[in-house]
């Protein structure tokens, strides 16, 4: 709980004068937070690097840091323009998919792979059931 309060304080400073992010339904979105997980959202690679630098600066001022071993970047675009050539952004590895809060998210924007993954988990669980 204390970490969440601390994290909220730092993120408010980071986003105080930040105008970046993407627009969804008329609202500007630059981050999503749940418990100790933070997702930064940017419209471009340059914007993301700038936001990461601001976050790193403000975090360091309070003795916090970004664990780049646990940090991932995923590029999602409608045109699928050559983003596979980008291997890293800042100090973060670029991936095509990852599990976030228990759900598989991939750069296609589709839920198909997540649905297949959940069905497979259910199959495995069903094979472990025994008769009573």
pLDDT of 59-118, one tens digit each? 999 888 888 888 888 887 766 665 566 666 777 888 888 888 889 988 887 889 999 999
Q: In sequence order, what are the residues at sequence separation of 6 or more whose Cβ sits closer than 8 angstroms to the Cβ of residue 29?
A: 21, 22, 23, 41
Report the mean per-residue pLDDT for the chain: 85
Quote the CA–CA distance of 84 and 82 in Å, as a whole number: 5
Query: What is the model's pLDDT at position 2?
Result: 78
- What would the two tokens of residue 131 be? 């008769």
- Angle between the 2-15 and 45-61 helix axes, to the nearest 10 degrees? 130
pLDDT digits (tens, 9 = 90+) for 17-57: 888 999 999 999 999 888 888 888 888 888 988 999 999 99
pLDDT digits (tens, 9 = 90+) for 101-115: 889 988 887 889 999
Q: Determine if the pTM surpasses 0.85.
A: no
């Amino acid at each position: 709980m204390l970490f969440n309060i601390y994290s909220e304080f730092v993120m408010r400073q980071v986003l105080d004068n930040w105008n970046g992010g993407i627009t969804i339904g008329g609202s500007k979105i630059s981050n999503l937070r749940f418990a100790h997980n933070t997702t930064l959202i940017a419209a471009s690679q340059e914007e993301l690097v700038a936001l990461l630098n601001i976050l790193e600066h403000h975090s360091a001022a309070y003795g916090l840091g970004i664990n780049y071993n646990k940090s991932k970047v995923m590029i999602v675009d409608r045109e699928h323009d050559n983003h596979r050539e980008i291997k890293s952004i800042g100090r973060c590895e670029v991936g095509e998919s990852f599990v976030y809060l228990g759900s598989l998210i991939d750069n296609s924007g589709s839920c198909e792979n997540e649905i297949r993954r959940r069905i497979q988990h259910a199959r495995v669980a069903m094979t472990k059931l025994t008769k009573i």
